[in-house]
Amino acid sequence: MPVRIVQSQQNSRLKALRRALAHPGRELGSPVALEGPNLLAEALHARLFVPTVFVAQGSEHLIEGLSLPPETDVLLVPKELLTSALATETPQPVAALVEPFPWVWSDLFKGFDRPAAALIVVLAGVQDPGNLGAILRSAEAFGATGVVSLPGTVSEWNPKAVRASAGSVLRLPLVSASADECLAHLQQAGVKVWTTAVQGAEPAHRIDLAAPTALLIGNEGNGVPASLAGRADGALTIPCPGPVESLNAAVAAGVLLYEASRQRALEDAPGAAR
């Protein structure tokens, strides 16, 4: 594990870090940026390749327990120099460039530890990175097999989205696609597509979400675009007895994913009924 001291803000690796933070995920196949020792540890645990680690001078102890591969370059950087390259208000003294896994469509239809019916979240214009990260975290927690990001959705590698996902973005299969490509793949795989709606839809608990399912999660302000919702197989809603008209996108996704997980657990229990 070679360690090099970097003193110049013109260093090519520091420039790559700034680029990855400023334009997350723009170039397919390019490294993405992570900030903090916890996310770095998650990336290593997920067996992602980490070409470069940046450590502020005086904080070397934060990476001492990490099993960095010998081909990883560790750059020791003055704290002020590293801080100037990072995007957060309170930058951490550790950052890294990571090569994300090149997920393909077939990855989205597999279960994590056993054969399972597909459970896919389709992000249709989710723009708040905190919401996107929270959705990814819920998706992994409740056994979703993958996520599709449609045009208009914020990058999953946005620093705020990465932090909000608590590492799920590193492990959960995710592809970006047009609406036409997405629907074609889902139809071919026999996955039923459900749009989310506030009115005129079936309550989620009355719908068979144990079957191969895709959930359309729309924009925070406008919901799922009408042109896309009209191509879904059906519409579902979350009954709310309180006076609130609708739920936050991340909360709604979490509730629906929990309901799908609940139904699937009951289906696995012999003799149980939903």
| 125-158 pLDDT, tens digit each | 999 999 999 999 999 999 999 999 999 999 999 9
The pLDDT of residue 8 is: 84
Round to whole Å and give the CA distance between 198 and 203. Answer: 10
Round to whole Å and give the CA distance between 197 and 95. Answer: 40
| Extents of the domains making up the chain | 3-99, 105-268
Round to whole Å and give the CA distance between 133 and 122. Answer: 14
The pLDDT of residue 274 is: 47
Sheet containing 73-77, strands listed edge to edge, beginning at the edge strand earlier in sequence: 3-5, 73-77, 49-56, 94-99, 32-35
For the structural domain made of 105-268, what CATH number should be given?
3.40.1280.10
Whether the domain at 3-99 and the domain at 105-268 fall into the same CATH topology: no
The pLDDT of residue 23 is: 86
The pLDDT of residue 257 is: 98
Sheet containing 119-124, strands listed edge to edge, beginning at the edge strand earlier in sequence: 174-176, 146-149, 119-124, 213-218, 192-196, 234-237, 202-203
For the structural domain made of 3-99, what CATH number should be given?
3.30.1330.30
Residues 6+ apart with CB under 8 A from 12: none
Please name the residue that has the structure tokens 């994300």.
100
DSSP designation for 223 = B
- Quote the pTM value: 0.91
User: Of 248, 271, 251, 270, which Cα lies nearest the Cα of 259?
Assistant: 251
Instruction: Give percent of the chain with pLDDT exceeding 70.
Output: 93
159, 21 Cβ separation under 8 angstroms: yes
132, 156 Cβ separation under 8 angstroms: yes
User: Of 216, 179, 184, 209, which Cα lies nearest the Cα of 118?
Assistant: 209
What six digits make up the tokens of 43? 């990336």
Arithmetic mean of pLDDT over the chain: 90
Q: Which residue has the higher pLDDT, 90 or 49?
A: 49
103, 185 Cβ separation under 8 angstroms: no
Please name the residue that has the structure tokens 């490509």.
181
| 224-239 pLDDT, tens digit each | 999 999 999 999 999 8
What six digits make up the tokens of 33? 């940026």
What six digits make up the tokens of 159? 């620093």
For the chain, what is the radius of gyration of the CA atoms?
20
* Strand, coil or helix: 184: helix
Q: 270: pLDDT confidence band, cut at 50, 70 and 90?
A: low
Round to whole Å and give the CA distance between 161 and 141. Answer: 16
Residues 6+ apart with CB under 8 A from 166: 133, 137
**pLDDT for 2 beyond 70:** no
Please, what sign has the CA dihedral across residues 242, 244, 245, 250?
Answer: negative
